[in-house]
Chains A and B, each alone.
Chain A
Amino acid sequence: MLQYITRRALLAVLVIIGVTLLTFISIHLSGDPAVLYVSERAGPEELAEARRRLGLDKSLPEQYINFLGGLMRGDLGLSLANRTPALQLVLERLPATLELTIGALILSNLIAIPIGLISAVRRGTRVDGTIMLLAMFGQSMPGFWLGIMAILFFSVTLRIFPVSGHVPVLAPLLAGDWATAIQNLPAGVHHAILPVVTISVFAIARNARLVRSALLEVLGQEYVTTARAKGLTERNVIVGHALRNAMIPIVTIIALEFGFLLSGVIVTESVFAWPGVGRLVFNAIGQRDIPVVQAAVVFFAFVFVALNLVVDVLYAYLDPRVRL
């Protein structure tokens, strides 16, 4: 197992380097970052001076090698825009994004697994049809539209949730400031409800369909028939035998979903003015702030690779055949 993990970790380094190289190239293909750091009436001289001051006058390979050297030392450079360490900017914003991501992950699975299960058990009934119809709607609605509609209805018309904003809970918690975290919790949850629900809708719909199809496949297996023949209750058959085996693809999706949610909340963070990593990266791309984009990319690549590794280990735990 250790050898396996080591091999995967080495591969992960290559993946991260590859991702950073692609990001670096794509950012430079879309224009010279220096033009965004000069005055409105800039001429070629001012532009050249800005390039020199921002360290963008070096050749692209030289810039990239410098970046890799820094990466090895754990130094991802300073933001071009405000000279703050790029990784620090990403980590500062991370708790806010984690609040949304964890909230959405919990909410979506709390809802998706039971309704997927109900839908599978009652296959072909009106309940199944209704759940699948709603799931289709859930997957079809763009997060941007849903967020705006939620604000219009719940915040502007009913006025029961705030339009936007964020009250930190996780950040003080991580800093060991329990008192502030607890004090902020009610308002934090209040502010988080609409964005979390907005993000969760797609995940609920997809996961419900996934749970349903995984369960339907398992419910047709002989060992389920055997379990029923042994006289086990339907609850024991479903939860104890069928659901556990159906969880293998579900766990894969859920674990990877955390990564997708983490890196994919840009739209929701923008709609709800939520100060997370997604918005940071979005702004950094707009400002061609390469160090910040690179720091975020390295961070997310690392998260994805780590999650993949966790999924593989979980696979081995859930399905002994994988260990053979």
Chain B
Amino acid sequence: MKKVTTKSVLLLVLLLVIVMPVSAQAPAADEDTLVVGIFTEPVSLDPARVANFNITSLMFAQLYELGQATGSIDPYLATGYTISEDGTEWTFTLNEGLTCHDGEALTAEDVVYTWERVVDPANAFTGNSAGFVIPSLGYVGARADSDLEVTLIFGGPQNVSLRLGLISEIFIHCKDSYEAMSLEDAVRNPIGSGPYSFGEWVTGEYLTMNRVPDFTLRETYFEQIAWRIFPERSTATAELVTGNVDIIKGIGADQIEPINASGIASVISYASTIRAYVGFNMNPDREFSSTPGGQAILETPVRVALQHAVDVVAICTQLLGADCERATGPVNPPNDNASLEPYSYDPALAESLLDAAGYPRGDNGVRFELTLKARNIPGAVGGEVAQAVAQFLSDVGVQTEVEFVENAQFVEQLIARDLGPLFIVSTGGSAWSAQYDLADFPAPDGETNYTGWTNEEFFTLEASLPSLISDPEAERAAEQQMLQAFYEDPPWLLLYAAPLLEAVSSRIEYTPRVDNFLTVYNVSLK
């Protein structure tokens, strides 16, 4: 008998391993499973500490939900609401027969519990719900009027769309389920109220959720949704072009060509609701305030002139791989001021406006110097865009240097208003409320008015908005006037609604939402 050599054994083992069917643990895309590639793993699935809005919104339902259609806010767990005369009490009527995924009946008491759990200091929640939504709403408390009627109590009246939109960011969960859980359990073992129930979470790899058969408030196509986590973008692209992933949100411009060439998937781009801008830091008494550049940007004509110096459309096309329109203000369509024309790219005009403002070129060709603080990240407000903006400004004699700042320091300095004199950043906006977008400028000394802008007309109008709640037309007119004031005295060097690139498998029918959320109601197999 022929002797079996080590070499032949090794070859046999290798062959077996190669031909062995892959019993992959991560779910593969098939007719029942939609696979979505994400780049950051959610740190928590606690509905009160939302780490990934898309994942949470498929497992948990809200009283109202941002609709598929741009700008709509649709009834969800609630069928409707009434508002008290003074605008402080909102009473919602729930659908009958609601349950959480463990079978517990979902009633008004659970809605009260949800809101109180978010604000309970003992839970020490940070992030969007506890840190932004609750204070923005002026939430005071909640009470169950009956099994199906719940009243949310607020400190004062508020624009209806704004309040409803904010309410749509609170995810309802059942009292008995969550009272029985530790905070640690709540992070990893969610018991939801939405169209998909939690399946499995293999940390670092994937998370699955399964369709709830008796959930009738929304129609869904796939039995299972799997979220696969890819820290490296090119790996996600490789999985997409081998047919293992259906949707990847937020791919880089460098991936467009290989994906489109694969024949298996293609890239779509659209303008999101995320607003990208370069801020003029006009806060007094900062390190740069007394520099010539720091002084120059205090002047409206200079800030207007600099708008004309930057070719925003070219930046978008060349660096971000997408076509986009230049913004005219901080509010997204359709709530923006449609009568305003985007500032044109006209360097000659920029130069003449700067001359007229009293900033001629010096002997060295420089009018004044600025520093643009940025993060060295890819995308709409990334390092490349910052460098392009700086070059455009330098071309009209405003010598601009980009200074990269590490992310945590950047955010810290932004909040402390120490970034400047220029900083490039983005801020989440909406398609459903002008006032949500305008909340970046709550008051001249408002916390999120990072530029320290103090336009009197704008802030006077803003202060008048609460008194106009009962007159939507007057309210809308005031918003439009505010946008006009913003346009004429811009605290931002206006860029664009950040274009987003999504890679989509050719096996599915899918239209992305403008707000970049993924609700899967609009996804099906072809």
- Chain A residues within 8 Å of B, Cβ to Cβ: 30-33, 35-47, 49-50, 53-54, 79, 81-84, 89, 92-93, 96, 148, 151-152, 155-156, 159-168, 183-184, 186-187, 189-191, 193, 269-276, 279-280, 282-283, 286-288
B residues 218-232 near A (Cβ < 8 Å) are 228-232
Whether A275 touches B202, Cβ cut-off 8 Å, given contacts A35-B412, A45-B447, A155-B238, is yes
Q: Which residue of A lies closest to B235 (CB)?
A: A164
> Is B84 located at the chain interface by the 8 A CB criterion?
no
Residues of chain B lying within 8 A (CB to CB) of residue A279 = 204, 231
Partner of B448, one of A43, A84, A183, A273: A43
The answer on a CB contact under 8 Å between A44 and B415 is yes
The answer on a CB contact under 8 Å between B447 and A46 is yes
User: Would you give the shortest CB distance from B414 to chain A, in whole angstroms?
Assistant: 9
| For the complex of A and B, 7 pairs with smallest distance between CB atoms | A43-B447, A275-B204, A31-B408, A39-B132, A81-B43, A53-B124, A35-B411
The answer on a CB contact under 8 Å between A84 and B184 is yes
Residues of chain B lying within 8 A (CB to CB) of residue A187 = 20-25
In the bound complex, CA of A193 to CA of B22 (Å): 13
Residues of chain A lying within 8 A (CB to CB) of residue B238 = 151-152, 155-156, 163-164
User: Would you give the shortest CB distance from B13 to chain A, in whole angstroms?
Assistant: 9
B residues 196-254 near A (Cβ < 8 Å) are 202-205, 228-232, 234-235, 238-239, 241-242, 244
Hey, what's the 0/1 contact readout for B7-23 against A, CB within 8 Å counting as 1? 00000000011101111
Known: A82-B187, A276-B204. 10 other contacts (CB 8 A): A40-B132, A41-B132, A163-B238, A164-B239, A168-B25, A186-B23, A274-B204, A280-B204, A283-B41, A288-B408
The answer on a CB contact under 8 Å between A36 and B132 is no
Q: Which residue of B lies closest to A55 (CB)?
A: B124
> Is B183 located at the chain interface by the 8 A CB criterion?
yes
The answer on a CB contact under 8 Å between A46 and B183 is no
In the bound complex, CA of A187 to CA of B135 (Å): 50
The answer on a CB contact under 8 Å between A41 and B228 is no
- Can you report 9 residue pairs joining A to B where beta carbons are below 8 Å apart? A89-B203, A163-B242, A164-B238, A166-B205, A167-B25, A187-B24, A193-B17, A270-B235, A275-B204
Residues of chain A lying within 8 A (CB to CB) of residue B439 = 41
Whether A39 touches B127, Cβ cut-off 8 Å, given contacts A47-B415, A271-B232, A275-B204, is yes
User: Would you give the shortest CB distance from A156 to chain B, in whole angstroms?
Assistant: 5
> Is B79 located at the chain interface by the 8 A CB criterion?
no
> Is B146 located at the chain interface by the 8 A CB criterion?
no
User: Would you give the shortest CB distance from A150 to chain B, in whole angstroms?
Assistant: 10
Partner of B412, one of A32, A45, A161, A271: A32
User: Would you give the shortest CB distance from B35 to chain A, in whole angstroms?
Assistant: 12
In the bound complex, CA of A299 to CA of B23 (Å): 32
Residues of chain B lying within 8 A (CB to CB) of residue A275 = 202-205
Partner of B409, one of A31, A148, A167, A272: A31
Residues of chain A lying within 8 A (CB to CB) of residue B427 = 40-41
In the bound complex, CA of A96 to CA of B204 (Å): 10
In the bound complex, CA of A238 to CA of B415 (Å): 68
The answer on a CB contact under 8 Å between A273 and B230 is yes
Residues of chain A lying within 8 A (CB to CB) of residue B80 = none
> Is B126 located at the chain interface by the 8 A CB criterion?
yes
Residues of chain A lying within 8 A (CB to CB) of residue B21 = 187
In the bound complex, CA of A277 to CA of B364 (Å): 54
Q: Which residue of A lies closest to B44 (CB)?
A: A82
B residues 380-430 near A (Cβ < 8 Å) are 406-409, 411-412, 415-416, 427-428
In the bound complex, CA of A14 to CA of B242 (Å): 50
Q: Which residue of B lies closest to A39 (CB)?
A: B132
Hey, what's the 0/1 contact readout for B476-501 against A, CB within 8 Å counting as 1? 00000000000000000000000000
User: Would you give the shortest CB distance from A152 to chain B, in whole angstroms?
Assistant: 7
Which residue of A82, A269, A282 has the most chain B CB atoms within 10 A of its CB atom? A82
Partner of B232, one of A36, A47, A186, A270: A270
In the bound complex, CA of A289 to CA of B21 (Å): 39
Hey, what's the 0/1 contact readout for B110-131 against A, CB within 8 Å counting as 1? 0000000000000011111001
In the bound complex, CA of A260 to CA of B241 (Å): 34
In the bound complex, CA of A224 to CA of B377 (Å): 59
> Is B319 located at the chain interface by the 8 A CB criterion?
no
Q: Which residue of B lies closest to A37 (CB)?
A: B126
The answer on a CB contact under 8 Å between B126 and A50 is yes
Whether A162 touches B17, Cβ cut-off 8 Å, given contacts A271-B232, A273-B232, is no
Residues of chain A lying within 8 A (CB to CB) of residue B412 = 31-32, 35
> Is B440 located at the chain interface by the 8 A CB criterion?
yes
User: Would you give the shortest CB distance from B288 to chain A, in whole angstroms?
Assistant: 20
Residues of chain A lying within 8 A (CB to CB) of residue B125 = 53
The answer on a CB contact under 8 Å between B231 and A282 is yes
In the bound complex, CA of A283 to CA of B51 (Å): 14
Which residue of A50, A84, A156, A164 has the most chain B CB atoms within 10 A of its CB atom? A164
In the bound complex, CA of A282 to CA of B229 (Å): 14
In the bound complex, CA of A202 to CA of B18 (Å): 23
The answer on a CB contact under 8 Å between B242 and A37 is no
Whether A50 touches B131, Cβ cut-off 8 Å, given contacts A30-B408, A270-B232, is yes
User: Would you give the shortest CB distance from B278 to chain A, in whole angstroms?
Assistant: 18
Partner of B22, one of A44, A45, A162: A162
In the bound complex, CA of A107 to CA of B244 (Å): 29
> Is B26 located at the chain interface by the 8 A CB criterion?
yes
In the bound complex, CA of A273 to CA of B188 (Å): 20
Whether A92 touches B406, Cβ cut-off 8 Å, given contacts A81-B43, A84-B187, is no
The answer on a CB contact under 8 Å between B235 and A42 is no
The answer on a CB contact under 8 Å between A273 and B408 is no
Whether A273 touches B415, Cβ cut-off 8 Å, given contacts A39-B132, A84-B187, is no
User: Would you give the shortest CB distance from B233 to chain A, in whole angstroms?
Assistant: 10
Q: Which residue of B lies closest to A28 (CB)?
A: B408
The answer on a CB contact under 8 Å between B205 and A287 is no
Q: Which residue of B lies closest to A53 (CB)?
A: B124
User: Would you give the shortest CB distance from B437 to chain A, in whole angstroms?
Assistant: 11
In the bound complex, CA of A152 to CA of B237 (Å): 10
User: Would you give the shortest CB distance from A246 to chain B, in whole angstroms?
Assistant: 23
In the bound complex, CA of A151 to CA of B448 (Å): 45
User: Would you give the shortest CB distance from B329 to chain A, in whole angstroms?
Assistant: 17
User: Would you give the shortest CB distance from B500 to chain A, in whole angstroms?
Assistant: 16
User: Would you give the shortest CB distance from A279 to chain B, in whole angstroms?
Assistant: 6
Partner of A148, one of B205, B228, B234: B234
Whether A31 touches B406, Cβ cut-off 8 Å, given contacts A47-B415, A275-B204, is yes
User: Would you give the shortest CB distance from A240 to chain B, in whole angstroms?
Assistant: 21
In the bound complex, CA of A152 to CA of B232 (Å): 14
Residues of chain B lying within 8 A (CB to CB) of residue A41 = 132, 427-428, 439-440, 447-448
B residues 236-277 near A (Cβ < 8 Å) are 238-239, 241-242, 244
Whether A165 touches B205, Cβ cut-off 8 Å, given contacts A41-B448, A81-B43, A82-B187, is yes
Q: Which residue of B lies closest to A89 (CB)?
A: B203
Hey, what's the 0/1 contact readout for B422-450 against A, CB within 8 Å counting as 1? 00000110000000000110000011100
Residues of chain A lying within 8 A (CB to CB) of residue B407 = 31, 36, 286
Partner of A46, one of B16, B17, B124, B132: B132
The answer on a CB contact under 8 Å between B447 and A190 is no
User: Would you give the shortest CB distance from B21 to chain A, in whole angstroms?
Assistant: 8
Residues of chain A lying within 8 A (CB to CB) of residue B232 = 270-271, 273
Residues of chain A lying within 8 A (CB to CB) of residue B447 = 41-46
Hey, what's the 0/1 contact readout for B162-192 against A, CB within 8 Å counting as 1? 0000000000000000000001100110000
Residues of chain B lying within 8 A (CB to CB) of residue A271 = 232, 234-235
In the bound complex, CA of A137 to CA of B187 (Å): 46
